[in-house]
Amino acid sequence: MPIRELRVGAIRATVAPMSEPGPQPKPSAASPRAAGVAVSATRGTERLRVLVRATLLLLGVCAVGTVGYKLIGGPTATWLDAAYMTGITLTTVGYEEVIDLSGSPSGRIFTLALLVSGVGTFVYFFSQIMGFIVEGSLDRFYVRLRMQRHIASLTDHYIVCGASHTGVHVVEELRRARRSVVLVDRDSDAAHAAYDASAGGLACVVGDATDDDILRQAGIERARGLVACFSSDKDNLIVAFSARALAPGLRIVCRCVDDRVAPKIRHAGADAVISPNSIGGLRMVSELVRPISVSYFDSMVRAHDGELALEELTVRRETALDGMTLRELRSARGVDVLVVALHDEEAESRGERRWRHNPDGAAELRAGTTMVFVGGAVARAELERLAAAPKQV
């Protein structure tokens, strides 16, 4: 057994006794209405496979009939004549025979055999086509195809695993922040409900997020971050482990109900572990003792288009922001933002503080520094452009 499967098995065995999330829903087959909005092995896909088999079977019968009539007709018969004879036989049209079978008992026997086998195949083929169209599988197939192409075109997007109440709120907040999102859930009805709530603007993948292939369908290699918010700590842990193995540089945030499991989820690869109960308690206390401050920061974090918002941006090496001071950023570049703080993970190794609050204009932006700032959508877009542009020598 592969080492990866042994480790996943050990993870399940370790977490299961500690977390009691209740019975987990089994992967459900995609319903006809949800199949049109989700990438999954749905009934429409199965119907398409049957249609492909029926097409190959019909083509095989046509090929056998054409070759057979060519041999029966001899050198005077062309391949077009043989194909014509096959066509009028299978469709039972009965036009004039271009290959004379009156003096060929073997030709008549071959025609009877072709009628018995070929007509049945022909009827089966068209019945599959009609079923494919009547059940709406054709429309759903093209919708899924468009969604696959849309997901394949995404980069720096966010993957949300789990369409629970928490997952739905995560999707709403990411979309409000104008971030590209792909929702992954094993329940097709839950995925369809989220798709409807987004007015068709949400990409969905129906499948088990603990499966590597499902995460690849969601474009995990190109994603910027992943949120695992299943009700089961066991599932969140395995998703974190799988996601870290597939995308080592991915930012992973996981939901955790049992605080005892949180260290295991971090060890599996999560960058942050969030306890809804703990966060809820902190928020309730803040609402009690500092309601105005909470309301202010909440409005900054959840600002809509055109409003000032609290944002962050990390400086990458050899980009336009690398080595630039805040004074140069404001004057030369004309970026109108209020820099609240600078965060540098490597500052302590240089004998400096990790956080620099209210930095002055001489503060230098270095690779790896994260800038926490307040600004509008235009300023954020300009900063993101500078963060991606190469450094001018």
Q: What angle do the packed helices 291-301 and 276-289 form, to 10 degrees?
A: 120
**Alpha-helical runs (H) found in the chain:** 3-15, 32-35, 43-73, 79-90, 105-134, 137-153, 165-176, 188-197, 212-217, 233-246, 262-268, 276-289, 291-301, 326-331, 377-388
Q: Bridge partners of 182? A: 159, 203
Structure tokens at 361: 């204009």
Sheet holding 272-274, edge to edge: 38-39, 203-206, 181-185, 158-161, 225-228, 251-255, 272-274
**So what's the pLDDT on residue 224?**
93
* Domain layout of the chain by residue ranges: 3-24+154-279, 44-134, 306-388
Pairwise CA distance, residues 341 & 360, whole Å: 10
End-to-end C-alpha distance for the chain, whole angstroms:
53
Alpha carbon distances (Å) from 126 to 71, 83, 112, 170? 29, 19, 21, 46
Query: Exposed (0-12), middle (13-18) or buried (19+): which is 311, by Cβ within 10 Å?
Result: buried
CATH of 44-134, one of 1.25.40.10, 1.20.1630.10, 1.10.287.70, 3.20.20.70: 1.10.287.70
- Report DSSP letters for 92-154, one per residue: T-----SS--TT-HHHHHHHHHHHHHHHHHHHHHHHHHHHHHHTTHHHHHHHHHHHHHHHHH-
**So what's the pLDDT on residue 32?**
38
Strands 272-274 and 251-255: parallel
**Comparing C-alpha atoms, which of 322, 301, 310, 317 is closest to residue 380?**
310
Digitized pLDDT (tens) for each residue of the chain, 393 residues in all: 454 544 555 455 455 444 444 444 444 443 334 444 444 444 556 667 777 888 888 888 889 888 888 888 888 888 988 888 888 888 777 677 778 777 788 888 888 888 888 878 877 887 777 776 665 555 566 667 778 888 999 999 999 999 888 999 999 988 887 889 999 998 888 888 888 788 777 888 888 999 999 999 999 999 999 999 998 999 999 999 999 999 999 999 999 989 899 999 999 999 999 998 888 899 899 999 999 988 888 887 776 656 778 888 889 888 888 888 888 888 766 778 889 999 987 776 677 778 888 998 888 888 889 999 988 777 888 888 888 888 876
Structure tokens at 243: 């996601």
Pairwise CA distance, residues 389 & 50, whole Å: 50
- Report DSSP letters for 256-299, one per residue: -SSGGGHHHHHHHT-SEEE-HHHHHHHHHHHHHH-HHHHHHHHH
Structure tokens at 198: 């987004």
Architecture of the domain defined by 3-24+154-279: 3-Layer(aba) Sandwich (3.40)
Question: Is there a contact between 76 and 66 (Cβ–Cβ < 8 Å)?
Answer: no
Pairwise CA distance, residues 73 & 77, whole Å: 5
Question: Is there a contact between 357 and 341 (Cβ–Cβ < 8 Å)?
Answer: yes
**What b-and-e string marks burial along 229-268, b requiring 16 or more CB atoms within 10 Å of the CB?**
bbbbbbbbbbbbbbbbeebeebebbbbbbbeebbebbbeb
Q: Which CATH superfamily is domain 306-388 in?
A: Regulator of K+ conductance, C-terminal domain (3.30.70.1450)
List of residues 6+ apart from 333 with CB closer than 8 A: 324, 382, 386
Tell if the pTM clears 0.85, that is, is over it.
no
Residue type, 39: V
Question: Is there a contact between 263 and 287 (Cβ–Cβ < 8 Å)?
Answer: no
Which H or E run includes 311? strand 309-314
**So what's the pLDDT on residue 194?**
84
